[in-house]
Amino acid sequence: MRCRRIQRKLSPYLDCELSPRATEAVRRHVETCAACRRALEETSALSGLLDAMEEMTPRPFFVRRVMAAAEAPVPAQPVVTRLKPALSRIAAVLVTAVGLWLGATLGGSLRAEQAVDDAFADELALDLEVAALSATPPGSLAEVYLDLVAESE
């Protein structure tokens, strides 16, 4: 038998609840398997601790209160509460669909404008770079860069 199956049977084994055949199988396995033997010892120790505990008596009317709570009708939930998970999924799908539709619809008209905007952005970036590096110390790398940019224009 495999260890997992044996370990599930250790408590019934200790309580003599197994059939003679299963009892013999567990006994033989525990004799040869150190891990299952340790598990049997731990289960036996735990069982001993539980047996040593004093029996607890429930407070008066405890059973009656538990049974009353178990038999009490479950309050009905509002429809919105029950449908909330489904509604949130539907809303997510709708938002995604609208976003894709807007992207497809507006994306075509923006492509022509984007080429103009890209050229303007490149020119603006070059102007900003030149302006940012205009106060460069003589003989610096920045000055060499500015000279190369000025020559290429």
- Report the distance separating Cα 65 and Cα 134, nearest Å: 85
**What pLDDT score was predicted for residue 10?**
92
Phi and psi (nearest 5°) for 72? Answer: -65, 140
Q: Encode pLDDT of 55-111 as tens digits.
A: 888 888 888 888 888 888 877 777 777 788 888 889 899 999 988 888 777 766 555
Q: Are 26 and 18 within 8 A, CB to CB? A: yes
Q: Count other C-beta atoms under 10 Å from residue 26's C-beta.
A: 22
Q: Are 7 and 14 within 8 A, CB to CB? A: no
- Report the distance separating Cα 140 and Cα 10, nearest Å: 82
**What pLDDT score was predicted for residue 37?**
93
Name the nearest CA neighbour of 2 among 39, 45, 46, 42. Answer: 39
Name the nearest CA neighbour of 21 among 11, 8, 9. Answer: 9
Structure confidence at residue 125 as a pLDDT band (50, 70, 90): low
